[in-house]
């Protein structure tokens, strides 16, 4: 219906409506524009586009679990993102290069002894975590990895070859610069445990050496004692010989002590008894030998079991971190369930009764 077909009153009314509609459209557009701008800005902030950043790279054995855009963590903060993942040449020792940017102010925390550690997530994802500098205990001259001068970044170059000390690059880095290389610990737990073990062994070694010295002294003393004992035994030999002669007379001749004290019947019974005792002892000895053999086999099996366990733990170095992540993720899940309107009743907060000032009435006038 054309506007000319309307009555003048209706036409005036329609003009007013059109103005309001236009106003509404303009306001709505402005709001939408504002929201989009805010979204774009917050996305840029989240992704670090507005921040200064410097490149780093590390070398890992597998790209499994990584993707470009994944966060890089430092001390629990999102400190940067992965920018590139590329396979190395077939002859290289390490298989994959992972490049990442670190944003300001976090690159100030990374020194030349910083490293990268891998954290495994619940669903197979991995996170790069860079460590703060100055904590490795390495005996090197510590330095920041980058320095900024006049808005340009200079990278630290560690000593190589005959150089005794590192130095800053003479030229600022450009867009083609690959980054500062950080070493990656892929199986942190096992390596750290091994390192700790070696340290403990080195601490305990002086004690062991002192013990061996004492044992050596003891053995020397024993040798001297044996030598003097040998002399004594030689002196005792004639006496023993005489005693032997006397006892043979007592036991074997008529009127000797043996026949006088033990009648022939009893002697026979004693011989029989001793024979059966000997048989029992032999049987017991056989059983004991079998028992000790079985025990030995059991111990060997036990050793194999523990060895297998150890191998399994070493083979899967991510086991412990996975369990840790699982616990954290489960906690997140439960926290989420607590907020659901249907389930929140099941998680009523446990509040302790407020504490009271304790006061007991005085008992008796006599006390």
Partner 1 sequence: MKNIRESLYLACFTISGLFFIGCSTPAPEPVPFPVHEAELLEATAINVMEAGNWKASEETWGEVARKYALLGRRDRQAIALHNQSYSAYRNGNYQSARALASEAASINLQGSEWWKNQILLLQIEQKTSQESRQKRMEELLSLAETSNLEEKETALWVLLQNEYGSGLLREGVADKANGVIHRALEKVNAVDRSTAWALNSNLAETEEALGRYDAALTSWNKLLEEAKELADRELIATALAGQGRSLWGSGRDYEAIMILQRAAKNFQWLGMEKESSELLELIEQYMIKSAVPRESYFMPIDTKTEYSEESQ
- The residues binding partner 1 (CB under 8 A) are 335, 338-341, 344, 349, 352, 355-367
User: What DSSP string runs through 177-227?
Assistant: ---EE-EEESSHHHHHHHHHHHHHHHHHHHHHHHHHHHHHHHHHHHHHHHH
User: Shortest Cβ distance from residue 106 to partner 1 (Å)?
Assistant: 24
Least distance from partner 1 to the Cβ atom of residue 341, Å: 4
Q: How far apart are CA 80 and CA 99, in angstroms?
A: 11
Minimum CB distance to partner 1 smaller for 238 or for 365: 365
Identify the DSSP state of 131. P
Task: Kindly state the DSSP code that residue 69 receives in the 8-state scheme.
Answer: T
Min dist. Cβ of residue 168 to partner 1 (A): 41
Q: Which is nearer to partner 1, 20 or 341 (CB)?
A: 341
Start-to-end CA span in the chain (Å)? 105
Q: Minimum Å distance from CB 327 to partner 1?
A: 18
* Alpha carbons 194 and 220: distance in angstroms, whole number: 38
Instruction: List the one residue out of 63, 64, 54 whose CA is nearest residue 182.
Output: 54
| Residue 364 CB, nearest approach to partner 1 (Å) | 5
Choice between 140 and 343, CB closer to partner 1: 343
In whole angstroms, what is the distance from residue 156 CA to residue 166 CA?
A: 7
Q: Least distance (Å) from partner 1 to the CB of residue 77?
A: 17
The smaller minimum CB distance to partner 1, of residues 271 and 363, is found at: 363
Cα 251 to Cα 262: distance, rounded to the nearest angstrom = 10
Q: Looking at beta carbons only, is 254 or 357 nearer to partner 1?
A: 357
* Residue closer to partner 1 (CB basis): 164 or 367: 367
Dihedral through CA 14, CA 15, CA 18, CA 22, nearest 10? -170
């Amino acid at each position: 219906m054309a506007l000319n077909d309307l009555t003048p009153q209706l036409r005036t009314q329609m003009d007013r409506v059109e103005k309001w509609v236009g106003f509404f459209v303009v306001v709505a557009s402005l709001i939408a524009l504002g929201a989009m701008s805010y979204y774009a800005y917050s996305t840029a902030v989240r992704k670090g586009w507005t921040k200064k950043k410097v490149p780093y790279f590390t070398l890992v054995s597998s790209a499994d679990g990584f993707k470009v855009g994944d966060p890089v963590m430092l001390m629990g903060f999102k400190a940067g993102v992965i920018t590139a993942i590329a396979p190395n040449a077939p002859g290289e020792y390490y298989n994959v290069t992972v490049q990442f940017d670190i944003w300001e102010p976090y690159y100030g925390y990374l020194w030349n002894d910083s490293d990268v550690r891998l954290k495994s997530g619940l669903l197979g994802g991995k996170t790069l975590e860079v460590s703060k500098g100055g904590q490795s205990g390495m005996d090197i001259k510590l330095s920041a990895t980058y320095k900024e001068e006049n808005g340009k970044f200079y990278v630290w170059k560690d000593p190589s070859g005959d150089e005794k000390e590192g130095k800053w690059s003479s030229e600022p880095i450009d867009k083609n610069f690959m980054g500062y290389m950080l070493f990656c610990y892929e199986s942190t737990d096992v390596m750290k445990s091994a390192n700790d073990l070696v340290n403990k062994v080195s601490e305990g070694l002086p004690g062991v050496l002192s013990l061996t010295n004492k044992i050596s002294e003891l053995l020397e003393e024993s040798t001297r004692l044996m030598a003097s004992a040998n002399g004594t035994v030689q002196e005792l030999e004639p006496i023993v010989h005489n005693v032997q002669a006397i006892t043979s007379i007592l036991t074997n001749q008529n009127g000797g002590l043996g026949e006088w004290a033990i009648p022939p019947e009893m002697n026979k019974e004693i011989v029989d008894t001793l024979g059966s005792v000997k048989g029992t002892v032999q049987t017991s000895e056989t059983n004991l030998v079998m028992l000790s053999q079985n025990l030995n086999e059991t111990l060997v099996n036990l050793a194999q079991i523990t060895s297998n366990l150890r191998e399994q733990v070493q083979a899967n170095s991510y086991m412990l971190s996975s369990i840790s992540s699982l616990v954290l993720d489960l906690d997140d899940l439960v926290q989420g369930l607590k907020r659901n309107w249907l389930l929140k009743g099941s998680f009523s907060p446990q509040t302790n009764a407020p504490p009271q000032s304790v006061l007991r009435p005085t008992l008796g006038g006599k006390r």
